[in-house]
Chains A and B, each alone.
Chain A
């Protein structure tokens, strides 16, 4: 059902009456510079978003700005971080819209989205539990273990997401290539237009 929706998103939505008319998704992907600018903006926004969250998390871990209250670092840096995150989500969504089916059957993208959910859960837990006692340890050079762990988890997730995002561009596990069943299953290759080719058929597919 998800795949059917994405097929419509990629090829149906906004398509004109003529057979050669492109959908909005195809028009975005085929644009002369706009897609490249979106992708470049998504990448460069990491300087803002991950760069700022790096500073916030390292403060929470008690590594840098140990003499600055956590609340002050948050008040000044979180607006920048949130602005960066919102812009990253917007450009990321637009990039997904340009090639939904490619990303849907891409293992790195799937892991990246799972990590995004994990990051959001981590943020929610931080706000609901850890931050409530902030006044008790606001000025401590090294915050309590729960806060430090939350920051370490946050930083690890964002770094892992950068790795996944970079690896999406590589075709190592593209559907249609002979590869282990587990990868074909994780990417739902059988439903993709290229199908699922098991490793045992590697010779027949002409691979080395």
Chain B
């Protein structure tokens, strides 16, 4: 009867992911100046905080149950390594940085700054494993699209639509490169083209985020500086990275 139990744990794993996602999105977007912006970040955290905590505990407990059932497969999986690094980064960023910074309404103390540094380094490590993990590399596209959504949700005015237009052009270029310019099945050429365009997209997203942050600090809209926005965005994306790596354990 392992299979039905396994399926039930997976359901609870997904429910925990949903709680983590909702909590990280609400608090993370608030720190980046979007979402429930009429409420103070501390009020946003107090409302959803318990759900975030239950989600984090739930994801670890159900993850252990699922992992124990196919440990042999995970041992050799690059996606699993990326996922564990992202999990560590996610826990550190969520409870070491996002939580104290939100509760202090955007003020970043020494501990939170250290946690941000540690979390970002671990997240970078997770991304490098994901990027160099061979067959799992395409899964990083989830992180790119999620980053694009975060930038879309937090940017304003004309800058937002210029950003969307740019993403559209890059996606169209990806399609054209791999379906029109390079014949189907010619992976030797399609692969580098896809990778190059993914880097262009990453640069476009990072540039748009930086430009939004710069414009806000120039207008004096961010009394607390740009670091809370980075913490908010990174906390959302690190959980997306963990979830994407988790899904690609099964794909690669």
Chain A residues with CB under 8 Å of chain B are 32-33, 36-37, 39-41, 43-44, 46-48, 50-52, 54-55, 58, 64-65, 67-68, 72-73, 76-77, 80, 83, 159, 162-163, 166-167, 170, 172
A54-B51, A80-B153 known; 13 new pairs, CB 8 Å cut-off, are A36-B138, A37-B142, A47-B24, A47-B25, A50-B22, A51-B20, A51-B23, A55-B22, A55-B47, A76-B35, A162-B11, A166-B7, A166-B10
Verify if B247 is at the interface (C-beta below 8 Å from A).
Answer: yes
Q: Does residue B145 face the partner (Cβ distance < 8 Å to A)? A: yes
Residue contact A36 to B251, C-beta cutoff 8 Å: yes
**Chain A, Cβ-Cβ closest to B236:** A47
B61 touches A (CB below 8 Å): no
- Closest residue of chain B to A163 (Cβ to Cβ) is B11
Bound CA span A64–B11, Å? 24
Which residues in window 91-132 of B have CB below 8 A to A? none
Say if the beta carbon of B76 comes within 8 Å of chain A. Answer: no
Task: Give residues 202-252 of B contacting A (CB, 8 Å).
Answer: 239-240, 243-244, 247-248, 251
Contact B20–A47 (Cβ < 8 Å): yes
- Cβ contacts under 8 Å, A39 to chain B: 247
A140 CB to closest chain B CB (Å) equals 16
A64 to B43, CA, bound (A): 10
Taking the nearest CB of chain B, how far is it from the CB of A158, in angstroms? 9
Residues B38 and A44 in contact, CB atoms below 8 Å apart: no
Which of A37, A48, A72, A166 is B36 in contact with, Cβ under 8 Å? A72
B145 touches A47 (CB 8 A): no
In the complex the two chains form, is B18's CB within 8 Å of A50's CB? yes
- One digit per residue, 1 when the CB lies within 8 angstroms of any chain A CB and 0 when it does not, for chain B 2-37 equals 011001001100110111111111100100000111
B7 and A46 contact, CB distance less than 8 A: no
Query: For the side of the interface on B, what is the size category?
Result: 35 or more
Determine whether the beta carbon of A46 is less than 8 Å from that of B145: no
Contacting residue for B43 out of A50, A68, A162, A163, CB 8 A:
A68
**How far, in whole Å, are A40 and B26 apart by their CA atoms in the complex?**
22
- Distance between B117 CB and nearest chain A CB, rounded to angstroms: 25
What B residues does A163 contact at CB under 8 A?
11
Is the pair B14, A46 in contact by a Cβ cutoff of 8 Å? yes
How many Å from the CB of B137 to the closest CB on chain A?
A: 9
- For residue A72, which residues in chain B have a CB less than 8 angstroms away from its CB? 36, 38-39
For the complex, is B139 an interface residue (Cβ under 8 Å from A)?
Answer: yes
Q: Is the interface of B mostly helix, strand, loop or mixed?
A: helix
Closest residue on chain B to residue A35 by CB atoms: B251
Task: Let me know if B146 is at the binding interface, CB within 8 A.
Answer: yes
Of chain A, the residue at the smallest CB distance from B239 is A47
Which B positions have Cβ atoms within 8 angstroms of A?
3-4, 7, 10-11, 14-15, 17-26, 29, 35-39, 43, 47-48, 51, 138-139, 141-142, 145-146, 149, 153, 187, 239-240, 243-244, 247-248, 251
Q: Which 9 A-B pairs rank lowest in CB-CB distance, beginning with the nearest?
A: A47-B21, A51-B22, A51-B21, A33-B138, A65-B47, A64-B47, A50-B18, A40-B247, A36-B251
Chain A proximity of B199: nearest CB distance (Å): 17
In the assembled complex, the CB of A124 is this many whole angstroms from the nearest CB of chain B, namely 24
Give bound CA distance, A43 to B243, whole Å: 9
- Residue of A41, A44, A55 near B48 (CB, 8 A) is A55
Beyond A40-B142, A64-B48, is A77–B35 a contact (Cβ under 8 Å)?
yes
Asked if B47 contacts A76 (CB within 8 A), the reply is no
* Nearest-neighbor residue (CB-CB) of B35 within chain A: A76
Measured between alpha carbons, how far is A50 from B17 in the docked complex, in Å? 10
A44 to chain B, nearest CB (A): 5
Complex CA gap A83/B152 in Å reads 11
* Residues in B neighbouring A159, C-beta threshold 8 A: 15
A171 to chain B minimum Cβ distance, whole angstroms, is 10
Q: Are B14 and A44 in contact (CB under 8 A)?
A: no
Q: Which residue of A48, A58, A67 contacts B25 across the interface (Cβ within 8 Å)?
A: A48
In the complex where A33-B138, A72-B36, A163-B11 touch, is A55 in contact with B21 (Cβ < 8 A)?
Answer: no
Best-surrounded residue of B4, B26, B37 (most CB of chain A within 10 A)? B26
Question: Can you list 13 residue pairs at the A/B interface with Cβ under 8 Å?
Answer: A46-B14, A47-B25, A51-B22, A51-B26, A52-B22, A54-B51, A55-B48, A64-B51, A65-B47, A68-B38, A77-B36, A83-B149, A172-B3
CA distance A36 to B138 in the complex (A): 9
Determine whether the beta carbon of A68 is less than 8 Å from that of B39. Answer: yes
